[in-house]
Chains A and B, each alone.
Chain A
Amino acid sequence: MNELERQSAALRVEGLDKVYADGTRGLRGLSLDIPAGSFFGLLGPNGSGKSTLIGMVSGLVRAPAGHIWVFGCDAVAQAAHARLQVGVAPQDVHLDRFLTTREVLTYHGRYFGMGQLEAGQRADELLEVFDLTAKGGAKPNRLSGGMRRRLLIARALVHRPRLLVLDEPTAGVDLALRRELWAYLRRLHTHEDTTVLLTTHYLEEAEELCERVAFIRDGQLLAEGTVEDLVARYGGDDLEDAYVQAMR
């Protein structure tokens, strides 16, 4: 594979293997390409390796066997370069309780090299987009669950990443807010050319948002393609049917 091919993918992983300290095998030779500019869904049951992959991309899981490139940057050898291009909204809500909602965003921007003024302006912009302006001075523990979830996504976007990784972003979020988030993610993807990697257990969410979808199980790629490809391959009426068939 040449450099040009690597850079055409937002995320390219080759032969990823991960064995945790307790012997659990997180990934088994996973290889996957996520094209730049795509909205990509990663689906699989609990323990299939979705969060392990995300942890490796973002630097939260120790370097595995295999290779990861983010827009052509080796995520291990050029970790700092790669991390600058990735924004991660993790599955669990962990927010610095010593900071206000606005500060959570400004500090994140500064951790990614933004100046104080620029980070402040960007924080105000995102607070408005995510309807959190009125809560800018509140500590995260004073926010509702939905607000915290929105704040996590806003935080992932502060430094304007080229690849946005959303690990079950709508888990525990009510339907109205989920649809609002969908609309925002669609706008982000369409107008701002951000590649989005989404993991979710809501099949209709993946069907609604994703241009391409991958099924993984036991740390291995089962199938990858458009929703139509996968439905044609596994049968059934929709992505849910195809997923159920694939996981049998």
Chain B
Amino acid sequence: MATMAAPGARDLRVVQRRAMWALASREMRRVLGLWTQTLLPSVLTGVVFLAVFGGALGPRLDVAGIDYVRFILPGLLVMTVTGQAFANSSTSLFQAKNEGYIEDVLTSPMRPWQLLVAYMCGGLLRGWLAALALWLVAWPFAGGVEQPALTVLALVLTGLIFGALGVITGMWADTFDQHAFIANVLITPLALVGGVFYTATRLQQPWQALTHVDPIYYLVGATRHGYTGVQETSTGAALIVAAVVAAAVFALAVRLLDRGWRLKA
């Protein structure tokens, strides 16, 4: 057996790229292997929301001139991507840290941004697959997509923001309670008050103003614009803000991983 010699700079990049894809494949395999825990519940939740709000209330409601099922579906897609991308990244990293096997990747030659991308891959796959499944179930009732590129772009940005936030939360949490706290007290309420089920123009103050400071509101607005053609906020501004937020959260997560924040002694 020959031992490994120090590689050149180009070889090192190949090594690091392979390492990143190995960890990303491990993360994605975990999502697919545990699909009854990672994918099914969120799809069922979305379907129940559609059935209860769309089926029961829908016939009596007409929001922004469109059918209520069609109105809420884009928000449910955002809510699904938000929750699942966040939950997967945070849970996977938290488990690796809590059970100690994160040492295996922390001692590897991967760069911090590669670690982040690899951990986010599982969350992105989970969020987007769950949203795709929900859309396929709802499509016969909610109709087709007006602007697919805009819809996909908004959902991509949603996944990037909340996947990176999940990684930061996984690093921060020392206990499962702390980990669950962020999901239950921050992410879920933000998603629910982000205009998924209503239009902010119908709200009284201060609720309207509060809705406008919820970042998910803009992601829902952009996705709804893409899906239905109905525009409540400036979609261009929403996408720019979302891209800036995604870049900022990504940069923060890289910085924290580089420092080994709450991962290294």
Complex-state Cα separation, A14 to B15, whole angstroms:
29
Q: Encode B224-265 as 1/0 by CB contact (under 8 A) with A.
A: 000000000000000000000000000000000001100011
Distance in Å: Cβ of A82 to nearest Cβ of chain B: 8
Contacts of A15 in B (CB 8 A): none
The contact of A111 among B7, B23, B99, by CB within 8 Å, is: B23
A97 with B99: CB separation less than 8 A? yes
Interface residue SS majority, chain A = loop
Q: Is B136 an interface residue (CB 8 A)?
A: no
Q: Is B103 an interface residue (CB 8 A)?
A: yes
B108 with A83: CB separation less than 8 A? yes
Closest to B29 in A: A98
The contact of A92 among B21, B100, B264, by CB within 8 Å, is: B100
Distance in Å: Cβ of A27 to nearest Cβ of chain B: 12
Complex-state Cα separation, A107 to B99, whole angstroms:
17
The contact of B3 among A21, A58, A98, A193, by CB within 8 Å, is: A193
Distance in Å: Cβ of A93 to nearest Cβ of chain B: 8
Residues 50 to 88 of chain A near chain B (Cβ within 8 Å) = 52, 55, 58-62, 71, 73, 79-81, 83-86, 88
Closest to A70 in B: B6
Complex-state Cα separation, A162 to B3, whole angstroms:
5
Contacts of B1 in A (CB 8 A): 160, 192
Complex-state Cα separation, A83 to B106, whole angstroms:
10
Q: Is B30 an interface residue (CB 8 A)?
A: yes
A162 with B100: CB separation less than 8 A? no
Which of the segments A112-120, A198-206, A207-215, A229-237 contacts the partner chain?
A112-120
B259 with A113: CB separation less than 8 A? no
Contacts of A62 in B (CB 8 A): 259-260, 264-265
Q: Is B186 an interface residue (CB 8 A)?
A: no
A71 with B265: CB separation less than 8 A? no
Q: Is A155 an interface residue (CB 8 A)?
A: yes
The contact of A95 among B19, B101, B111, by CB within 8 Å, is: B101
Q: Is A178 an interface residue (CB 8 A)?
A: no
Q: Chain B CB within 10 Å — which of A59, A80, A86, A160 has the most?
A: A80
Contacts of B7 in A (CB 8 A): 81, 84, 113
A96 with B104: CB separation less than 8 A? yes
A60 with B106: CB separation less than 8 A? yes
Q: Is A142 an interface residue (CB 8 A)?
A: no
Q: Chain A CB within 10 Å — which of B22, B101, B110 has the most?
A: B22
Q: Is A184 an interface residue (CB 8 A)?
A: no
Q: Is A159 an interface residue (CB 8 A)?
A: yes
Closest to B259 in A: A62
Residues 180 to 229 of chain A near chain B (Cβ within 8 Å) = 192-194
Complex-state Cα separation, A73 to B9, whole angstroms:
13
Contacts of B101 in A (CB 8 A): 94-97
Distance in Å: Cβ of A102 to nearest Cβ of chain B: 14
Contacts of A99 in B (CB 8 A): 26
B22 with A110: CB separation less than 8 A? yes
Contacts of B260 in A (CB 8 A): 62
Contacts of A162 in B (CB 8 A): 3-5
B100 with A94: CB separation less than 8 A? yes
B265 with A55: CB separation less than 8 A? yes
Distance in Å: Cβ of A247 to nearest Cβ of chain B: 25
Contacts of B19 in A (CB 8 A): 110-113
Q: Is B2 an interface residue (CB 8 A)?
A: yes
B264 with A111: CB separation less than 8 A? no
Closest to B111 in A: A80
Contacts of B264 in A (CB 8 A): 55, 59-62
Closest to A83 in B: B109
Known: A59-B107, A60-B103, A60-B106. 18 other contacts (CB 8 A): A55-B264, A55-B265, A60-B107, A71-B6, A80-B15, A80-B111, A81-B12, A83-B107, A83-B109, A84-B4, A84-B15, A96-B101, A110-B19, A111-B19, A111-B110, A160-B3, A192-B2, A193-B3
